[in-house]
Amino acid sequence: MASSNDHLVQSDDPNHPANLIPSLCAKFWHLGWVTGTGGGCSIRDDDLVYLAPSGVQKELMKSSDLYVMSLAAQSASLFKRQRIYLREPKGLKPSQCTPLFLAAFTKRRAGCCIHTHSQWAVLVTLLLESQNKNVFEISHMEQIKGIGKGFEKSGNLGYHDTLRIPVIENTAHEEDLTEFLEEAMDEYPDTYAVLVRRHGVYVWGENVHKAKTQCESLDYLFQLAVEMKKLGLPWIRSPELVNLQAQYK
């Protein structure tokens, strides 16, 4: 059946999901977010979910490499771990990230979910591990304004808000992360991202635009956080600093 649905990934529109996923993955490869086939990206267009396959060189992906799934059909299936594809590429394997992407689509109605192995994300989880922490917190950074207020809320976080991104422990098999990702979503209902210890980050958004720009803003903050640690600067602005600042103005 799958081969009969090749039209699902054929379009002249550069903004069609089947064209966007390859161009985004190439962009992410150049940013160092996806490397050695790690990382990935999925887009949901109403009921249709477009998925990058496993094991492909991310800067060389083609539209014809993509899987397509019906979210409704998948959700209705009694066997959650069995995937039902509308379109399957020949000679490739589905991504182990699939159930994690689906969690963002079903639990948060996301339109796009990005998974990176960014070294900044990994280093942040390592720095938190050495302090026995499982949430990343940073405050008083303009770039925080690039992140939305949360699920079904309009508008973005403000400069004075503290951004909190939960960290879940890594598992041997990526699929097994799903329940922990869902738990983190329940515990942090407004988060648009979950860090995975020694692994990377999952970031989503209402649409491709929001998922991508939120992923950029978070990666920027993760990199900044690592550089701040090297320079001995704290991630949360000291309350005393506020008074000092008022004073020397």
Report, in Å, the least distance between residue 7 CB and a copy of itself: 26
240 part of the active site = no
Q: Which residues, 151 to 170, sit near a copy of itself by CB under 8 A? A: 158-160, 169-170
What's the DSSP call for residue 45? E
Instruction: Using DSSP bridges, classify how beta strands 135-139 and 112-116 pair: parallel, antiparallel or unpaired.
Output: unpaired
Provide the edge-to-edge strand list for the sheet that holds 135-139. Answer: 85-87, 67-70, 48-51, 40-45, 112-116, 200-205, 193-196, 162-168, 135-139
Is residue 21 within 8 A of residue 64, CB to CB? The reply is no
Nearest approach in angstroms of CB 29 to a copy of itself is 9
Q: Is residue 30 part of an annotated ligand binding site?
A: no
Confirm or deny that 113 is annotated as ligand binding.
Answer: no
Decide: is 90 part of the binding site for a copy of itself (CB under 8 A): no
Build a one-symbol-per-residue string for 189-228: x at contacts with a copy of itself by CB under 8 A, - elsewhere.
-------x-xxx--------x--xxxxxx-xx--xx-xxx
Asked whether position 72 contacts a copy of itself by CB under 8 A, the answer is no
Stretch that binds a copy of itself, among 40-48, 84-92, 105-113, 143-151 (CB under 8 A): 143-151
The CB-of-245 to a copy of itself minimum distance in angstroms stands at 6
Whole-angstrom distance, CA of residue 49 vs CA of residue 84: 11
Is 173 within any annotated ligand binding site? no
3-state helix, strand, coil in the chain (%, to 5): 45, 20, 35
Q: CA–CA separation, 187 vs 114, rounded Å?
A: 21
Specify binding-site residues: 97, 115, 117, 199
List the catalytic residues.
142
